[in-house]
Amino acid sequence: MSVDNYYSMTYTAPFSATPITVATTAGGTVIAAANDTRKEITLQNNGTQPCIICLGGTPTTTNYHLVLAKATANRDGLGASITLDWYKGAITGLTESSTTVISVMEIID
């Protein structure tokens, strides 16, 4: 990317800073909808349950792409996080028990 193109980009945070509560719901909870203008997305687990993540599908305890480790206590900053700078599809989550809270920061062009 040239310097000129870098400075011409507009970065926009999500419209809402409301964390997403993910539960054991069959079919999972949509954490982020597909977005063709997404440049980067960061997910962080701020709850006390691991979160099963599926990229572009329906998560189950046997069908998923990654697991975000739980925090030690709610919002302590110690839960796992991941940044994806290549994925533009939907992201869905699931827990095996109870609920957890996922913070999402999406940068779009």
Per-residue pLDDT of the chain (109 residues; tens, 9 = 90+): 444 444 444 445 545 567 999 999 999 999 999 999 999 999 999 999 999 999 999 999 999 999 999 999 999 999 999 999 999 999 999 999 999 999 999 888 8
Helix ranges, the chain (H): 3-8
Six-digit token string for 65: 């792409």
Q: Which fold has domain 12-108?
A: Jelly Rolls (2.60.120)
Separation between Cα atoms, residue 68 and residue 56, nearest integer Å: 17
Which pLDDT value is given to residue 109?
Answer: 80
Which pLDDT value is given to residue 4?
Answer: 45
Separation between Cα atoms, residue 79 and residue 46, nearest integer Å: 6
8 A C-beta contact, residue 79 and residue 46: yes
Which pLDDT value is given to residue 71?
Answer: 96
Which pLDDT value is given to residue 88?
Answer: 96
